[in-house]
Chains A and B, each alone.
Chain A
Amino acid sequence: MNTDDRRLIANTLKGQQAAFGELVRRYQDRLYHAIFRVVDHPDDALDVVQEAFILAYQSLNHFKGDSEFFTWLYRIAFNAAISQKRRKKAAVSLDWSSDERSSIEPPDDSVDIRPGSAMERSEDEHILHHAIQQLPVEYRVVLILKELEGRKYEEIADILDVPIGTVRSRLHRARLELRNLLSTYEE
């Protein structure tokens, strides 16, 4: 584990909350960016990330230091994001005409409804983001961790607590499904 992280964790456990604040500042942007791609809503992403940090703070004594702090934090955050996504999917009406049909028709890019974006995004990115959102959450998470975060298979397996074979299989499926979705827009 990174020496700085180790020092900050040790200081946090001694009661220095500011040390934990420093840890959060180090990783908040990166975590938010990844979680946002999973849950697709800025408020939800904010809630998940915030809650993940609080849970991490609570469980800091149980962090053994055998992996990177960020990997451990990711595990907490992604599990929370997946659970939230599943909860929301069960609660939302499954009206095909309003929800699924949008996966086939071109997206409306006249208004950027995402206030969290730092820069104006091109239509291309918008389409890619939309396509990613159509993937099943298990596929989406693996794709984000691999392509966005640049994680290795072993790290992804560690974060998601699944076998490496499962990671490979989900990643391949995710890529092919994403290609299918993007080809719909490209036609």
Chain B
Amino acid sequence: MITPDIRDLLSKAVDGDLTVAERKRVDQLLRESEPAAKLLQQLQRDAVRMRTLTPVVPPVNIASRVLAEIRDRQVSPTPTPPAPKSRPLNWSQITLWINVATAAGVLLTIGIGSYMYFAISHQAPTKLGEQQIAKGQTRPSKEVVNPQTLPSKSATNQIVEEPIPETLVVAPTPPTLVPSIEQGPQPRIHEENILAAPSEVMPEINAINITKHRISRFVNLAEVISTEAAHAKLQNDIKADLKTDELIRLDLFCRDPKAAMELLTSLLKSKGCQAITDKFLTDRLSKKPATEIVFFTDVMNPDEVFQLIQLLAKEEQKLGSRAGHLDTLVVAPFLPADLDVLGRILGVSSAFTKQLPKQKTPIDIRKPLPEGTANQLAQNLNKLASQSTLKKSKLVFVGSYSPINPLPSQSKEIKQYLEQRSDKRPDAKPLMLVLRTVN
């Protein structure tokens, strides 16, 4: 099988633009692989064919027409802009600017120094104050006794024999010296009550009203098949969501999109739908680069889509932790941007935008697509394959969502899908299901 890498290598070989290692690889390929040798031969032949294409001569003498146009339009070569004059250096100006720069530098230094001084002094007022207090404060010493308590020596000369009662008098501490702390600027008077309740200062934010605003619904697959009463409402809500929009958009997050794709394909087959997979996607998956996969079909009604989701959930439950392919399902509103993407994927942008019903009223975000979109879309798609006589079947197209196939018109699978898809049933809705990877 010729992989894209081999194809690239062979294309380089046509130009001889190969490194030594690549040359060896090509030689080996040519010996071992007949398809590779054939492809190289074809590419070389195509190059020769291009070089030998018959030259196409202009029907008229271009030179005379060009000269006539130049005269008529009075065109002339644009003059080149003059080179900027080099001026001699103005030393007096240079000196002036040097002086200005010096003065600015000095002022800046003074400013930074002042800022740092005040910042440091404000940073440790307690420490500084404590030190000063410690210095100024006189600790009451037990040894200090208020002289008033001691009997003073009387003027008399009588000798008092009674012992002088010793009483422990706690001398009042002398007033502490309050250090002079630099006073900072007065605090700004704030009129508003900053401790007010948030509701008094914050703008009011209205809660999202789910009935008015349609948002994506994140669903745990297990809940879709749960028989608990709590999950019954969820299941009904999902069914309602699927019926709301003209088209159904589902995103299914999974760890292995390829495995999820295979599972989904087999489940669709069990429901009588045949999957047609774009070769661009198949090639990408064989190389295992990160790919998101899209399933598109319009053969199922919303109830059948819900049953498909339930089947997926049951399979996931059966496989248990062994597979763990599927993660969260997102039921999202189908937006006009999704229509554009789908059109590009199938290479039929016009079918997805041409003659679709217009919004009569301003866009309702609960229903972004106008009524009748699904039916008109089906008609547009039918027109594309109106001349096909192939048998119609219930088909599902499987393609690459990211990246999109750059050449959808060259895809035989897309062509086959468009030509063989069956007519849309009245109750069916187009479904776009994207398999996304969980990081």
Contacts and interface: CB of A to CB of B under 8 A. Distances in A.
Interface of A: 12-13, 17, 20-22, 24-25, 28-29, 32-33, 36-37, 42, 45-46, 49-50, 53-54, 57-62, 93-97, 100, 103-104, 114-119, 121, 124-125, 128-129, 132, 134, 136, 143, 146-148, 150, 153, 168, 171-172, 175-184
A57 B67 CA distance: 10
**Which of B51, B69, B70, B79 counts the most A-chain CB atoms under 10 A from its CB?**
B70
A29 B8 contact: no
A61 B78 contact: yes
B77 interface: yes
For the complex of A and B, 9 pairs with smallest distance between CB atoms: A147-B50, A100-B409, A172-B11, A24-B63, A28-B62, A32-B58, A118-B57, A94-B350, A60-B77
Contact of A115 (B59, B65, B415): B59
Contacts of B407: 177
Contact of A175 (B14, B62, B69, B80): B14
Interface in B1-52: 7-8, 11-12, 14-15, 17, 39, 42-43, 46-47, 49-51
B46 A50 contact: no
Given A54-B70, A100-B347, A118-B56, A49 B62 contact: yes
A128 B50 contact: yes
A141 B56 CA distance: 16
Given A103-B409, A175-B43, A116 B66 contact: no
26 contacts: A17-B71, A21-B63, A21-B67, A24-B66, A24-B67, A25-B63, A29-B58, A33-B56, A49-B58, A50-B62, A50-B65, A54-B66, A57-B66, A57-B70, A58-B78, A59-B78, A61-B77, A96-B350, A97-B383, A100-B347, A104-B409, A118-B55, A134-B410, A172-B11, A177-B407, A179-B42
A49 B61 CA distance: 12
Determine chain A's interface SS by DSSP, over half rule. helix
Contacts of B77: 12-13, 57-61
Contacts of A136: 406
Contacts of A62: 78, 80
Contacts, number: 160
A54 B46 CA distance: 35
Determine chain B's interface SS by DSSP, over half rule. helix
Interface residues of B, number: 53
A147 B49 CA distance: 9
A172 B12 contact: yes
B328 to A, nearest CB: 35
B194 interface: no
Contact of A124 (B49, B56, B383): B49
Interface string B134-165: 00000000000000000000000000000000
B196 interface: no
A101 B15 CA distance: 32
